[in-house]
């Protein structure tokens, strides 16, 4: 697909988009067996400092992104654009929306994670001015998604 369309709209997530968002994440390869996407959405909906945006072209959901802010740094998660619409500037449009949202809240810096070996996504972020930092990302699961 060529470029953004006048029919493209970035909106706050609404419950009616849930199944389409999850299907998009699966199509984009963002889901993992140990992360329940429904639970990730539920958790995001309790986040009073962040945002969850969807991108529609007409009535079709073609993108999504989650932005967070902890008072020190912003974060980006689940940035996704339907593969049929990638390379049209839509990911950049979603990131610009997140950056504006976070800047308006006084957020001085954004951190995001990209899985090792995902060179295409690394190049995308580099083109937007993001650079690898010399830090190690650590994690610890507190609540397994396999629990009810």
- Please report, for the chain, how many H helices and E strands are present, in that order: 4, 5
CA–CA dist 127, 91 (Å, integer): 11
**The pTM of the whole model exceeds 0.95:** no
The DSSP symbol for 35 reads B
Please name the CATH architecture into which domain 8-127 falls. 3-Layer(aba) Sandwich (3.40)
pLDDT value of position 4: 66
Q: pLDDT tens digits, residue range 88-115?
A: 899 999 999 999 999 999 999 999 988 8
- pLDDT surpasses 90 at 10: yes
Residues 6+ apart with CB under 8 A from 48: none
The gap between the terminal CA atoms of the chain, to the nearest Å, is 41
Share of the chain above pLDDT 70, in %: 96
CA–CA dist 14, 52 (Å, integer): 9
Q: Where are the domains of the chain?
A: 8-127
Q: pLDDT tens digits, residue range 20-50?
A: 999 999 999 888 888 899 999 999 999 999 9
């Amino acid at each position: 697909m060529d470029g953004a369309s006048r029919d493209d709209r970035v909106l706050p997530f609404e419950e009616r988009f849930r199944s389409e968002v999850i299907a998009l994440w699966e199509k984009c390869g963002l889901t993992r067996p140990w992360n329940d996407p429904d639970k990730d959405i539920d958790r995001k909906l309790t986040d009073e400092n962040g945002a969850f945006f969807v991108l529609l072209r007409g009535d079709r959901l073609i993108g999504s992104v989650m932005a967070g802010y902890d008072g020190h740094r912003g974060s980006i998660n689940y940035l996704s654009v339907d593969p049929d619409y990638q390379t049209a500037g839509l990911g950049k449009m979603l990131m610009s929306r997140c950056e504006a949202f976070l800047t308006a809240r006084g957020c001085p810096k954004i951190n995001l994670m990209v899985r090792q070996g995902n060179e295409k996504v690394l190049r995308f972020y580099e083109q937007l001015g993001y650079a690898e930092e010399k830090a190690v990302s650590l994690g610890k699961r507190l609540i397994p998604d396999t629990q009810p």
